[in-house]
Amino acid sequence: MRYRVNPDLKLDLNRFGVKEDWQDCFHCGNCTAVCSLTEENILFPRRIIRNVQLGFKNKLVTDVDPWLCYYCGECSETCPREANPGELMMSFRRWLTIKYDWTGIARLFYKSLPAFLIAMIVVAIGIIVIGITKDFKAEAMMEFGHKFEKYVIYAVACLILLPNLLRMFWFVILKNKLKVPVFAYISNSLSLFVNLFTQKNYLKCEGDTFRWVEHLLIVIGYLGLLVITVFFNWFNTDSETVKWIGYIVGALVFIFTFDFVLKRSSKKRESSKFSHPSDWMFVVWLFLLGLTAFITRILVDAGAIENNLWVYFIHLIVIAQWGLLIVPFGKWTHFLYRAFAIYFSNLKQAALMK
């Protein structure tokens, strides 16, 4: 395949948070060598910077490696040109997110904050309208909310997430014309699930264990909260066990996301120095989600939900915005893409080994 230098790519990339620092790169290879995740056939970030400099879009879109980076920031800290390779990788993941999204809505939201905010307002209005039709009765509202969550999950998973993952598969495996042995699909599927829920590759990043623990607790909290509210109807359950598990997972979510928000605000760590609106939306909404769920259940326990229905109402708005916008088109997808990237990367290795 022949490549052409494409200077337009940088204009496109500018909208995804990256500054043009990568133009300063003089290819010393420090970032690649300093990274504890680089391996045989998995080389970043310098190779990717080179492809960006030349604008090799086709090469970039089929590249799965950016997802393997957990942004410890060491490359940016030690870069002799201050070319910020870590942030380029982060911006690149945003760019890939919109490339995988078949609807094009992610592209709109990532590139235009106003468009995203309008969508958020529209969703909020929608929930208010539904509230009006239900006369703001607690029981009816909660029943609606429960059903709503369930259907949104199914719809988003089938209509958006699954097709997007297939697109990712198409880009990474099929477009690269990789002949993956069938056995590899099966043998690597276990590690897919392990990575999905533990992000254990994160631990290879030196000195980042605490960040991994925090991240893991958020994942556990989030998935726990999802299961407990959707499948065990946490807000209306009488089971003491379910109730207390719900409290714990809810607390995990808002406590640790609060710490993430603090880190992004203080900008002390290399990885939280630069925040794209999508990063802010993700952590802040996750925080609100955990917090409002927690308070709602407290009010239910105290028998005061009827008089304080606005708390649940906010929760419902947050859930709707989360489920309809942030999960399918926002940063949430990195949860899937990261794990599948490791899976696809393993498939790629298997194909290359053959």
Partner 1 sequence: MGDKIGICFYDSGQGFSDYFNFKELYDYASGLPQVTKIWNTTELDLKSPEKINEQIKEVNPDKMILAGDFPGEIKNLFVSAMSLAGKKAENIELASFVEHAYLNGQSTEMAKVVLLCAIKGVDIRKVLVPDEVDVHPDTLVIGGGIAGIQASLEIANGGQKVFLLEKTGTIGGHMAMFDKTFPTLDCAACILTPKMVDVGQHSNIELITYAELKSISGVPGDYKVTIHKKARKVNLATCIGCGICSEKCPRVAPSEFDAGIAMRKAIYIPFPQAVPNKYLVDEANCTYFENGKCKVCVKLCPVPDCIDLDEKDTDVEITVGNIIVASGFKPFDAKRIERFGYGKFPNVLTSLEFERLINASGPTGGNITFRSQDKKGNWIFKDGSGTPSKIAVIHCIGSRDENYNKYCSKVCCMYSLKLAHLIKEKIPEADVFEYFIDMRAFGKGYEEFYERIKQENVHMIRGRTASIKEKDQKLELRSEDILNEKIIEQEVDMVVLAIGLEAAENSNELANMLGIPSSKEGWYNEVNYNSNPVNTSTGGISIAGLCQGPKDIPDTVAQASAAAARVLQSIIKGKIQKSIKDIKLTDVETSINQLMKK
Q: What are the residues binding partner 1 (CB under 8 A)?
A: 26-34, 38-40, 43, 46-47, 78-82
Choice between 46 and 297, CB closer to partner 1: 46
Choice between 32 and 164, CB closer to partner 1: 32
Choice between 74 and 101, CB closer to partner 1: 74
Tell me how far apart the alpha carbons of residues 207 and 195 are, in angstroms, rounded to a whole number.
19
Tell me how far apart the alpha carbons of residues 322 and 316 are, in angstroms, rounded to a whole number.
10
**Hunting for tokens 């690649």 — which residue is that?**
32
Choice between 49 and 286, CB closer to partner 1: 49
Query: Apex CA 289: angle with CA 246 and CA 191, to 5°?
Result: 70
Query: Is there a cis peptide before residue 45, judged by omega within 30 degrees of 0?
Result: yes
Choice between 38 and 201, CB closer to partner 1: 38
Choice between 38 and 349, CB closer to partner 1: 38
Q: Report the 3 state secondary structure along the chain.
A: CCCCCCCHHHHHHHHHCCCHHHHHCCCCCHHHHHCCCCECCECCCHHHHHHHHHCCHHHHHCCCHHHHCCCCCHHHHHCCCCCCHHHHHHHHHHHHHHHHCCCCHHHHHHHCHHHHHHHHHHHHHHHHHHHHHCCCCHHHHHHHHHHHHHHHHHHHHHHHHHHHHHHHHHHHHHCCCCCCCHHHHHHCHHHHHHHHHHCHHHHHCCCCHHHHHHHHHHHHHHHHHHHHHHCCCHHHCCCHHHHHHHHHHHHHHHHHHHHHHHHHHHCCCHHHCCCCHHHHHHHHHHHHHHHHHHHHHHHHHHCCCCCCHHHHHHHHHHHHHHHHHHHHHCHHHHHHHHHHHHHHHHHHHHHHHC
Choice between 30 and 229, CB closer to partner 1: 30
Residue 184, both tokens: 């590899």
Choice between 30 and 257, CB closer to partner 1: 30
Is residue 69 exposed (0-12), middle (13-18) or buried (19+ Cβ within 10 Å)? buried
Choice between 49 and 281, CB closer to partner 1: 49
